Structure 1
């Protein structure tokens, strides 16, 4: 017999964002509300829930949306259990996001659709949930993925389906952040402090950085951690020390990124240096 398993995650690096991972649920949630929005994906089975005066069914892979302070329920739509994961961003989090996202700057979106069938966005949300569950993942990567995913959701399905605000370019601010991360790649930067260093909001900063650099801040940082690691490898630094000195969570994390960037492990790279 399957046993219900639920786990709450709390992410301080994302402003206190909460995430629920619920597996093999058989219980029925009575009518209730959340302080934040509920943005979830059905991982298995199907969910039936009441929202906005009507009942809805979300099968596996579909996205469920419940607005903040909106009365809703939840139960399995089948005879079997169901599983889902969901995040609960607050209205304040959305207000910060929409400063640069819509013409209604600083507004809180309203999602009229309770269930969305969008394969691409569903996959992106699942990837986000997977990343958030991994404590070794860099916080900058989590912040970037989280913000980009919410922006995509609001742009496609928020009630105010408006285009992004035309914002001025800030190449100098981007250059300042590039040099900051290149000089000290081992530091654990947050998206907020990088955006502040550039003199921009977080979403504007992400768009500007991608425009002028061609990659996200997180990928740029990883590249420069690899550059530093190569210098330390050439200098004969012990492998066990390099991961920590370059800001990687551990040696396996370092090896994985190094091989993805260069096609060889750090050990193989050092061996080739000796042979040559």
Structure 2
């Protein structure tokens, strides 16, 4: 008997709204998409609407079934792929750390830092229902006051119910300072074609020791982290209206195809699909 062909169509709709200084949204259905290990400047807050997703986050593998909420902290190394034959569909918001910090200041809490969400997968029907309402309003309503008020309330509830203060169990302070210098270099100059030896000389470390320390502190070796820095730079350039061909070169990618490959494996959409919401 011939194998039954899948009729599942992959789709991804990336949106951008101005609420709370700008928040990105994704409504996607994936079957074969396999996200590489990557990180975001912002958080990922999403609901699995169909199927199930399996993903790595914070040193552990997780499974998120239908109806569950996934939480990924800013800068958390993570990936993702289907955990069922039919794939998975989800809706997600990507709030930034500064948006949480702003909310913390406004509600008068003792901790004005951005929160840490210790659980990668949670089951909270009340929060999930509120999330779906907010998502629908952001798409359908042109009432700015309503949109911002509901989004604000959603993020406050998320912080209050599931957020904690971040505790750092990284490397020792001296080593942490050294690898942070390297991280800052890669963030500030993502397009530079720098060698491992040059980075090691920057902080007076053995190159291979630097790789080990860097991966322990940030979850990726320096070369992989450089790609993430380039992708973050790329999203900023796209939002500013730069041409995609120019973005690839400015960010230090070898060519356009290399850029597209890494972008889709990290963002779930092509650069062109991501850009269309900022170039209209």
Please tell me the TM-score bracket, short chain as reference. 0.5 to 0.7
How far apart are 1:29 and its partner, in Å?
0.4
Pair 1:77-2:83 in alignment: yes
Pair 1:66-2:72 in alignment: yes
Higher Cα radius of gyration: 1
> Where in structure 2 are there 5+ consecutive unaligned residues?
1-6, 167-280
User: 1:174-213 residue pairs with structure 2 within 5 A?
Assistant: none
Pair 1:30-2:36 in alignment: yes
For 1:121, the equivalent position in structure 2 comes to 127
Residues 40, 86 of structure 1: 8 Å contact kept: yes
* Equivalent residue for 1:145, pick from 150, 158, 175: 150
Provide, for residues 221-272 of structure 1, a one-character-per-residue CA deviation record: whole Å limited to 9, x for no partner: xxxxxxxxxxxxxxxxxxxxxxxxxxxxxxxxxxxxxxxxxxxxxxxxxxxx
User: 1:174-253 residue pairs with structure 2 within 5 A?
Assistant: none
Provide, for residues 92-124 of structure 1, a one-character-per-residue CA deviation record: whole Å limited to 9, x for no partner: 101100114463342110000000001111111
TM-score between both structures, scaled by the size of structure 2: 0.55
Paired with 2:80 and 2:12, the residues of 1 have a C-alpha distance of 15
For 1:57, the equivalent position in structure 2 comes to 63
For 2:162, the equivalent position in structure 1 comes to 157
For 1:94, the equivalent position in structure 2 comes to 100
How far apart are 1:80 and its partner, in Å?
1.4
Residues 64, 114 of structure 1: 8 Å contact kept: yes
Paired with 1:142 and 1:78, the residues of 2 have a C-alpha distance of 34
Runs of 4+ residues deviating >4 angstroms: none
> Where in structure 1 are there 5+ consecutive unaligned residues?
162-276
For 2:54, the equivalent position in structure 1 comes to 48
How far apart are 1:56 and its partner, in Å?
0.4
TM-score between both structures, scaled by the size of structure 1: 0.56
Paired with 2:78 and 2:101, the residues of 1 have a C-alpha distance of 23
CA-based RMSD: 1.6
* Equivalent residue for 1:12, pick from 9, 12, 18: 18
For 1:248, the equivalent position in structure 2 comes to none
How far apart are 1:65 and its partner, in Å?
0.2
Residues 55, 63 of structure 2: 8 Å contact kept: yes
Paired with 1:111 and 1:92, the residues of 2 have a C-alpha distance of 15
Between 1 and 2, higher relative CO (CA 8 Å, sep ≥ 6) is seen in 2
